[in-house]
Amino acid sequence: MTARTGRPLLYLSYGQDMALLNTSAKRGWTLVLAIGAVALPFLLTDDLLVVLATACVASIGAIGLNIVTGYGGQVSLGHAFFLGIGAYTAAAISGDPDSTRLIGFGITSVPIWLLGAGLVAGLAGLIVSPLAARLRGLYLAVVTLGLVFIGEHIFKHWKHLTGGVGVGRPAAVPELFGIQFAVDGEVFTKAQKLYLLMLVLLVIFGVLARNLVRSRVGRALAAVRDRDLAAEVIGVDVTRYKLIAFAVSSFYAGVAGALLYVMIGFVEPGSFNLALSVQYIAMILIGGVATISGSVLGALFITLLPRVTRELPAVLPFISSSSGSGGITVFQVETILYGLLIIGFLIFEPRGLFGIWNRLRTYWKSWPFSH
Amino acid sequence: MTATEARPGETTRAAPVLNFEDVVLGFDGVTALNGVTFQVDPGELFAVIGPNGAGKTSIFNVLSGVYRPQRGTVRFGDEDLIGRRPHTIARLGIARTFQNIELFSNLTVLDNLMLGRHLHHPYGVLAALGWIGKARRNELANREAVEEIVDFLELAQWRRLPVGLLPYGVQKRVELGRALASQPKLLLLDEPVAGMNLEETEDMARFILDIRDELGLPMVMVEHDMGLVMDLADRIMVIDFGRPIRTGTPKEVATDPDVVRAYLGEEHRVVERS
């Protein structure tokens, strides 16, 4: 550590070289980013903070999808299913135990229902993962698509758990060390508290995922994705690693699902549909496949997009904000934009926002020599 | 480490490392291997040659568990290899390279080599998530071992590049490195110099000799470059249509009339080179 002063890029041990933040630039920018993120609640309005908190949660979900699809190379359209499992597990664990209408156990401590949601979703992932061991590519995508429809059916009809269509049930109650996050406090508003909670959780789950993908497990996943035969010949148990990818990914989805509806305070069984899965696919494609920071960028982008399109009717008169008055609605514009963005990124920047960031970084590193 | 001295032809041989006996492998109507038998002794460089489609790569695929033969036995030390899945065979200490490079082209040279050490210093998913204690220690230990391979194969300048961007000859070398990184007890080289120019071929030959001299590692090599095979191999097996024609020292093989007819051509003479 001490030898680093003066010659910041001189590594004296492999430990220094392999550290997560192994250059002074990375350390500096991470600090700036951290300070910025913590300062935001005091600079932004509450409704923007709620959007950002949602983006943090979506990031956790996108990281999960990126582990199985980006690193593991197994295209999954079933993410909404696992998000749903997480949401309902958390809602049930923290739900009102006295209710006669809904299942509830009344345990509102965040770590407990969060872990419960992750584990139950992870277990579900483990159960369906043998499919992944036998199928690949489009076949796997179609089978996981089936999961979404099965999930939708169950969520709509298991009224004791989900409340049923059009009724729904309250989302998980976030409480930690006696602090209620979902109600306004004396010092912090509800939005400020929720944002900070989600930010901390994103950092925790982001760092864990980053560790996983740079470890032997992450390398083995990439090996299975790139060449499964070669992977097997060097000793990687392909079936086992496909299993791990699905289980970890579903765990992340479960955690994200549990948190996703905390901001709204309400879960509707119809929300876990194909469109939600596609949203997450869009996040990792736009953010950057097989990168953790790309997942976060993509999630931010997709979550902030509706916020931007909502402003469109004021600027472009042919777009209306409700379906009653002719022209196209903001919701249609949103859907079209998803499509266009996915196509655009796939054609022009397959490495996503992370790729653009990478190119900028290389440009400034070598500035003023562009090549 | 010292090379085990066990020259072929001697009457007192150490127990063979690999025993490949009477293996028959067919795909529907096609017979790829038709009663192939050979042994590889400790520290020996055993070469397999033959025309295209003779079944050379099929031998490798049987050895690494990709194909399952209909008949015959394959023993590696005391272990029976037939019916085992590839990753369990890797666990026994057999590493291989491929004819058409099978590297993980999106990953860097370092990561490819680290993957070669997948079975060494393992740790679980939970340890990986935390990257503290065992996971970190083991990663560092593997990294140190990988850097030795980097030095040995002179790959230092390409360390951090994705292998997909490297020249062909270097990729072949990285693949050799990945196999070596697993510290195998038997190394299978499938056409290590295929498609290389003279300089690259000589580099590769030097590395193969280094591996034999410094590590004493028994190797099975499939190769078309006759010059290389004659220069390097201790013993050669010539196969044609899945059937061994002759097994012996380079000299014996090169002068065998059947071999000359089947493979080298009537007029060919390579005796002078050895």
- A29-65, pLDDT tens digit by residue? 899 999 999 998 888 888 899 999 999 999 999 999 9
Return the number of other C-beta atoms located less than 10 Å from residue B199's C-beta.
9
Rounded-to-integer distance, Cα B236 and Cα B50, Å: 10
Domain count, chain A: 1
What percent of chain A shows pLDDT beyond 70? 96
B183, closest residue in chain A (CA to CA): A234
Contact B131 A232 (CB under 8 A): no
Please report which residue ranges of A310-350 form alpha helices under DSSP H.
312-315, 330-348
Best mutation target, A23, A205, A233, A358, to test chain B (most B CBs within 10 A): A233
A232, closest residue in chain B (CA to CA): B87
pLDDT at site B19 = 93
Q: In CATH, what number is assigned to the domain containing residue A192?
A: 1.10.3470
Contact A223 B115 (CB under 8 A): yes
pLDDT at site B271 = 52
B1 has a pLDDT exceeding 50: no
Nearest to A248 among B90, B102, B125 (CB): B125
CB contacts of A20 in chain B (<8 Å) are 131
Best mutation target, B125, B144, B151, B172, to test chain A (most A CBs within 10 A): B125
More confident of the two residues B7 and A203: A203
Task: Read off the pLDDT of residues B206-237 as tens digits, 9 standing for 90 and up.
Answer: 999 999 999 899 999 999 888 899 999 999 99
Mean pLDDT throughout B39-62? Answer: 91
A2 has a pLDDT exceeding 50: no
A24 has a pLDDT exceeding 50: yes
A27 domain-assigned: no
Best mutation target, B61, B115, B143, to test chain A (most A CBs within 10 A): B115
Task: Tell me how close the Cα of B236 comes to any Cα of chain A, in angstroms.
Answer: 25
Interface of B with A in 146-165 (CB under 8 A): 147
| Any A CB within 8 A of B64 CB | yes
Please answer whether residues A121 and A52 qualify as being in contact, where contact means their C-beta atoms are separated by less than 8 angstroms: no
Task: Read off the pLDDT of residues A99-143 as tens digits, 9 standing for 90 and up.
Answer: 777 787 777 788 899 999 999 999 999 998 888 788 888 888 898
Among A157-171, A193-207, A210-224, A331-345, the range scoring the smallest mean pLDDT is A157-171
CB contacts of A15 in chain B (<8 Å) are 136, 140
CB contacts of B66 in chain A (<8 Å) are 229, 233
The dihedral over CA atoms of A179, A182, A186, A188, expressed in degrees to the nearest 10, equals: 100
Domains of chain B: 18-93+184-266 (3.40.50.300)
Mean pLDDT throughout A243-259? Answer: 94
Residue A77's closest CA among A9, A10, A149?
A149
Contact B147 A14 (CB under 8 A): yes
Residue A85's closest CA among A253, A201, A247?
A253
B205 has a pLDDT exceeding 80: yes
A294 domain-assigned: yes
Please report which residue ranges of B7-133 form alpha helices under DSSP H.
56-63, 86-92, 109-116, 125-130
Please answer whether residues B74 and B186 qualify as being in contact, where contact means their C-beta atoms are separated by less than 8 angstroms: no
Please give the C-alpha separations between residue A344 and each of A312, A334, A339, B91, in angstroms, as whole numbers.
21, 15, 8, 45
A24 domain-assigned: no
Task: Read off the pLDDT of residues A324-368 as tens digits, 9 standing for 90 and up.
Answer: 666 778 888 888 888 898 899 889 988 889 989 888 888 887 777
B7 has a pLDDT exceeding 60: no
Task: Tell me how close the Cα of A131 comes to any Cα of chain B, in angstroms.
Answer: 19
pLDDT at site B263 = 67
A236, closest residue in chain B (CA to CA): B87
pLDDT at site A149 = 93
pLDDT at site A253 = 95
Mean pLDDT throughout A160-183? Answer: 78
Nearest to A226 among B90, B106, B129 (CB): B106
Contact A15 B140 (CB under 8 A): yes
Rounded-to-integer distance, Cα B111 and Cα B210, Å: 24
Mean pLDDT throughout A190-219? Answer: 93
B187 has a pLDDT exceeding 70: yes
Mean pLDDT throughout A210-229? Answer: 93
| Any A CB within 8 A of B86 CB | yes
CB contacts of A14 in chain B (<8 Å) are 140, 143-144, 147
Task: Read off the pLDDT of residues A301-336 as tens digits, 9 standing for 90 and up.
Answer: 999 988 888 887 778 777 777 766 667 788 888 888
Task: Read off the pLDDT of residues B35-45 as tens digits, 9 standing for 90 and up.
Answer: 999 999 999 99
Rounded-to-integer distance, Cα A309 and Cα B39, Å: 72
Is residue A6 very low, low, confident or very high in pLDDT (cuts 50, 70, 90)?
low
Is the ipTM of this structure higher than 0.95?
A: no
A184 domain-assigned: yes
A371 domain-assigned: no
A247, closest residue in chain B (CA to CA): B125
pLDDT at site A106 = 74
pLDDT at site A33 = 92
B64, closest residue in chain A (CA to CA): A233
Mean pLDDT of the residues in chain B: 88
CB contacts of B85 in chain A (<8 Å) are 232
CB contacts of B90 in chain A (<8 Å) are 232-235
Contact B128 A226 (CB under 8 A): no
Mean pLDDT throughout A235-240? Answer: 92
Rounded-to-integer distance, Cα B19 and Cα B92, Å: 15
Nearest to B118 among A209, A236, A248 (CB): A236
Return the number of other C-beta atoms located less than 10 Å from residue A347's C-beta.
8
B4 has a pLDDT exceeding 50: no
Mean pLDDT of the residues in chain A: 87
Among A84-88, A190-194, A313-317, B102-106, the range scoring the smallest mean pLDDT is A313-317
More confident of the two residues B1 and A253: A253
Nearest to B87 among A227, A232, A290 (CB): A232
pLDDT at site B5 = 47
Residue found by looking up tokens 């078309």 in the block: B224
Domain that residue A203 falls in: 46-366
